[in-house]
């Protein structure tokens, strides 16, 4: 039975979903890093929000962990690289809290424009400071959005409802999308110099860290107002403080901070700073959405291998998962076969999908095939990082798809090129959904692969098979299945033999020494 740990405050709906699906679940909120490291090894899944730091140290001891689910959007508290290295799927819920967070950004903008928190405090204190809190009107003001993705786009829409002019800086925003959203796409410097208010909505990455710094603040209009409901690390807090103190920045509304929980911060108690404690996603609706989504996604992954909203894995829908399953096995076998048979460094990999399989989602098939291919070279490769590892090793990977059926209704062919040679192998699924190897080096064969195989290439000469059978039999090695193929009579031939256990190295050498045998390899699946 799979076991999940929930380590941040999640709506109880999540627990219910896990339990309804037969997944055991523990809720332990507020664990210290050491405490998390001590228990994480027991779990298959970990569900978090932003408080739990899923560091490389945690991942290193998470022996059974298969999936980390982020009930929310930002995954900067998760070491995705380390998770990928261990084959752990990281998924988030990219839309569940975006409306709520956009609404918070608008609320913060309003609060900033009209000094609502400050005025609230002094009114409660019995002061009636009407003239102290004169604000600005938002109508016809220019709002500069940095990062115009899901949340930025909703903020743009709501701001347009307030009759603001919206400009956006986002290198990945297409001109067509900008037109659809009714925003003007500009470069960062132009945004800084034109905006009356700036709202941040990018993820925290190496490119965006500290994007609001002294130099960029200087490029802003005097009296600029800043809203940050994305990540604290986007703003250099010391630089913002200096610009607020000088009056160049008229105000800042901050939901997020460089260090959280932020119980102490240089911007606290500044008269022109409005703060909330990372409340962007904190509505009943959003919390219910993200909890349900994360629990469903994690359950589907753990129980059926469906991959939804993963940061580091190709998607596999709930409907696709059962259809892909036998193909995953076939793709892995083809990769593993060549990975073990091939010795030189690989330059190029071509994966052809023909017939029925070409109509399926082939990305996970390619990923698992590459895992099989690269595993004999390195232990650390897994389905999640295999495409990255291939790229790092300068292996050119291409996929070719043909809907047209050939001899087989469905076929995957793998061709691997090294400096020395080109090797190809093809496999299919028969009606029993079990993978069969149907071609090796252009020679037809029909073989199901078992855990221990002998792969022999030889000259097609009488007596060779008899000698091989006697050699194996004399040494107590039982043959489970025996498949043969040859190019032409008397030409190149191959044999794929399933044996009931591993073949000792000494006997393998005797097989290799048999007359007419060109090559013999023991393969493990």
Ligand X SMILES: NC(=O)C1=CN([C@@H]2O[C@H](COP(=O)(O)OP(=O)(O)OC[C@H]3O[C@@H](n4cnc5c(N)ncnc54)[C@H](O)[C@@H]3O)[C@@H](O)[C@H]2O)C=CC1
Among 73, 109, 148, 493, interactor with ligand HPV by CB under 6 A: 73
Determine the Cα–Cα distance for residues 89 and 363; give it in Å rounded to an integer.
15
Residue 49's binding partner among ligand X, ligand HPV, none (Cβ under 5 to 8 angstroms by kind) is ligand HPV
Q: Which residue is nearest to ligand X (CB)?
A: 149
- For ligand X, the binding residue among 14, 23, 73, 453 (CB under 6 A) is 73
Q: Interface with ligand HPV includes 49 (CB under 6 A)?
A: yes
Q: How many helices (H) and strands (E) does the chain have?
A: 17, 22
Any idea what DSSP says for residue 488? S
Q: Among candidates 56, 55, 27, 32, which has minimal Cα distance to 43?
A: 27
| Residue 97 buriedness (CB in 10 A; 0-12 / 13-18 / 19+) | buried
Residue 201 engages ligand HPV in binding (rule: CB under 6 A): no
Q: Respond yes or no on whether the N-terminal peptide bond of residue 296 is cis (omega within 30° of 0).
A: no
Binding mask 262-291 for ligand X (x = CB under 6 A): ----------------x-xx----------
Q: What values do phi and psi take at 429, rounded to 5?
A: -115, 130
Contact flag: residue 54 with ligand HPV (CB under 6 A) = no
Residue 104 in contact with ligand HPV, rule: CB under 6 A: no
The answer to whether 101 contacts ligand X (rule: CB under 6 A) is yes
x/- track of binding to ligand X for residues 216-255 (CB under 6 A): -------------xxx-----------------------x
What positions carry a catalytic annotation?
A: 231, 260, 278
Query: For residue 37, what are its two tokens?
Result: 């490291």
Q: How far is the CB of 78 from ligand X (least distance, A)?
A: 12
Contacts of 148 (CB under 8 A, 6+ apart): 156, 168, 169, 170, 173, 178, 181, 183, 201
296-332 as b/e: b if 16+ CB within 10 A: bbbbbbbeebbbbbbbbbbebebebbeebebbbbbbb
Decide: 142 and 195 in contact? Cβ < 8 Å: yes
**E strand intervals along 292-358:** 346-355
Instruction: Kindly write out the interface string for residues 246-285 of this chain, putting x where it contacts ligand HPV by CB under 6 A and - elsewhere.
Output: --------------------------------x-xxx---
> Which residues partner with 6 through β-bridges?
27, 47
The count of chain residues that interact with ligand X, using the rule CB under 6 A, is 33
Q: Write down the least CB distance from residue 17 to ligand HPV, Å.
A: 17
Binding of ligand HPV by 183 (CB under 6 A) = no
Q: State yes or no: residue 468 binds ligand X (CB under 6 A).
A: no
- Residue ranges binding ligand X (CB under 6 A): 72-74, 94, 97-98, 101, 146-152, 169-172, 201-205, 207-208, 229-231, 255-256, 278, 280-281
**Residues engaged in binding ligand HPV (CB under 6 A):** 49-50, 72-74, 97, 278, 280-282
């Amino acid at each position: 039975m799979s076991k999940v740990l929930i380590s941040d405050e999640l709506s109880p709906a999540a627990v219910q979903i896990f339990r309804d699906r037969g997944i055991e679940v523990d809720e332990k909120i507020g664990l210290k890093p050491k405490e998390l490291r001590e228990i994480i090894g027991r779990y298959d899944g970990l569900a978090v929000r932003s408080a739990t730091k899923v560091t490389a140290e945690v991942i290193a001891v998470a022996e059974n962990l298969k999936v980390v689910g982020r009930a929310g959007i930002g995954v900067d508290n998760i070491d995705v690289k380390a998770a990928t290295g261990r084959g752990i799927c990281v998924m988030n819920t990219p839309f569940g809290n975006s409306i709520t967070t956009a609404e918070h950004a608008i609320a913060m903008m309003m609060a900033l424009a009209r000094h609502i928190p400050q005025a609230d405090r002094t009114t409660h204190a019995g002061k009636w400071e009407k003239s102290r809190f004169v604000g600005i009107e938002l109508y016809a003001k220019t709002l500069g959005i940095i990062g115009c993705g899901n949340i930025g786009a909703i903020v743009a829409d709501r701001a347009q409802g307030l009759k603001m002019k919206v400009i956006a800086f986002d290198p990945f925003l297409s001109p067509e999308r900008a037109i659809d959203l009714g925003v003007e796409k500009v470069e960062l410097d132009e945004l800084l110099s034109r905006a009356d208010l700036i709202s941040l909505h990018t993820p925290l990455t190496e490119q965006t860290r500290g994007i609001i710094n002294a130099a960029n603040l200087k490029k802003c209009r005097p009296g600029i107002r800043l809203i940050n409901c994305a990540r604290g690390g986007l703003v250099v807090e010391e630089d913002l403080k200096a610009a607020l103190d000088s009056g160049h920045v008229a105000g800042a509304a901050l939901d997020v901070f460089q260090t959280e929980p932020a119980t102490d911060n240089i911007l606290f108690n500044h008269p022109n700073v409005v703060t909330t404690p990372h409340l962007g996603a904190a509505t009943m609706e959003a919390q219910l959405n993200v909890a349900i989504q994360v629990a469903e996604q994690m359950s589907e992954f753990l129980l059926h291998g469906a991959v939804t909203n993963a940061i580091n894995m190709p998607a596999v829908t709930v409907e696709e998962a059962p259809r892909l399953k036998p193909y995953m096995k076939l793709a892995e076998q083809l990769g593993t076969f060549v990975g073990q048979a091939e010795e030189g460094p690989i330059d190029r990999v071509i994966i052809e999908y023909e017939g029925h399989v070409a109509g399926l989602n082939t990305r996970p098939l390619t990923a698992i095939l590459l895992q099989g291919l690269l595993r004999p070279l390195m232990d650390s490769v897994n389905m999640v990082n295999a495409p990255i590892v291939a790229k790092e090793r300068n292996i050119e990977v291409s996929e070719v798809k043909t809907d047209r059926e050939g001899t087989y209704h469905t076929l995957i062919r793998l061709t691997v090129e090294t400096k020395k040679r080109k090797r190809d192998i093809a496999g299919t699924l028969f009606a029993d959904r079990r993978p069969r190897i149907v071609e090796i080096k252009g020679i037809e064969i029909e073989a199901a692969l078992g855990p221990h195989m002998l792969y022999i290439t030889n000259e097609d000469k009488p007596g060779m098979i008899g000698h091989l059978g006697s050699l194996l039999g004399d040494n107590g090695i039982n043959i489970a299945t025996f498949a043969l193929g040859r190019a032409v009579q008397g030409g190149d031939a191959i044999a794929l033999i399933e044996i009931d256990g591993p073949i000792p190295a000494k006997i393998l050498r005797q097989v290799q020494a048999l007359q007419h045998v060109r090559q013999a390899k023991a393969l493990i699946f």
